[in-house]
Amino acid sequence: MEELKIPRIHYLTRGQGTPLMLVHGFPLNHTIWNETAALLEDQAQVILPDLPGHGQSPVVEPVTMDSMADGLAAILDALGIEKVVLAGQSMGGYVCLAFARRHPQRLAGLGLVCTQAAADSPEKRQARLAQAEQTLAEGNQRVAESMSTLLTNRPEMAAGLKHLMSSTPAAGMAAAMRAMAERAEMGDFLPQISVPALVMAGLADVIIPVERAREMAASLPDARLVELEGVGHSPMMEAPQATAEALLGLLKRAQGA
């Protein structure tokens, strides 16, 4: 395994029990999990990181899926935790898949929420790299504005999400966009993930279609697929109860219950 610089990742923990790390997507921060985490903290030690360039974590180059996965492993080291149930939304899911490949011995269960194993197409990759340049030149508002309505199927949540994304610096957005553009195709790796997996999709997700979730669930050896009606790209905010229940089910399967 290549040596990578471990980014300093800000995180906080809530509750006690089986370690459960919840990773946010682009260009958000750990607070998107607050409502869901509150429903889990009496049964789990919930660990909430801010990915590099998001929330309170600085950008530490290189930002890649692998370096972010190593950053999550470094949090486990700091907390003295050997194995974790790891779940991530969208870009957070890309990081979780990188973690599963780089640190399989530390994974007790895997949650993939509104995410995909597929890499960017060449066209998408070019568009993302151009968008990263534009964001660096113009600032973070274009992304915050355009994504606020795409991230949720609940229009009343858009303003809060825009406010949240406005706190993510342009440099953090650009680094994450480059990391997503360069991420590896993980479809062929899924059959090697033997731990219990939860694949969750919002049927109203306009960023990542439900087919990506169905494909992952079919390729993972021990997956449960949960599809949420009327829910968009942010089930942890749009449907915290259903999200917490699904994650509790994953925790139980990871404990062999």
Cβ 103 to ligand MLT shortest distance, Å: 21
x/- string (CB under 6 A) for ligand MLT, residues 48-87?
A: ----------------------------------------
For residue 196, say if its preceding peptide bond is cis, omega within 30 degrees of 0: no
x/- string (CB under 6 A) for ligand MLT, residues 87-106?
A: ---xx---------------
Closest-CA residue to 72 (of 64, 196, 217): 64
Tokens of 142: 């274009």
State yes or no: residue 26 binds ligand MLT (CB under 6 A). yes
Identify the residue among 7, 19, 25, 53 touching ligand MLT (CB under 6 A): 25
Asked if residues 166 and 75 have their Cβ atoms less than 8 Å apart, the reply is no
State yes or no: residue 19 binds ligand MLT (CB under 6 A). no
**φ, ψ of residue 176 in degrees (nearest 5):** -70, -40
With b for 16 or more beta-carbon neighbours within 10 A and e for fewer, the 175-198 pattern comes to: bbbbbbbbbbebbeebeebebbbb
Neighbours of 82 (CB within 10 A): 10
Cβ 226 to ligand MLT shortest distance, Å: 18
Cβ 208 to ligand MLT shortest distance, Å: 7
Output 11 or 26, the one with its CB closest to ligand MLT.
26
> What is the C-alpha separation between 180 and 174, in angstroms, rounded?
10
Q: Which of residues 194-213 bind ligand MLT (CB under 6 A)?
A: 207
Cβ 236 to ligand MLT shortest distance, Å: 12
State yes or no: residue 180 binds ligand MLT (CB under 6 A). yes
SS3 labels along 117-156: CCCCCHHHHHHHHHHHHHHHHHCCHHHHHHHHCCCCCCHH
State yes or no: residue 7 binds ligand MLT (CB under 6 A). no
| Footprint of ligand MLT (CB under 6 A) | 25-26, 90-91, 180, 207
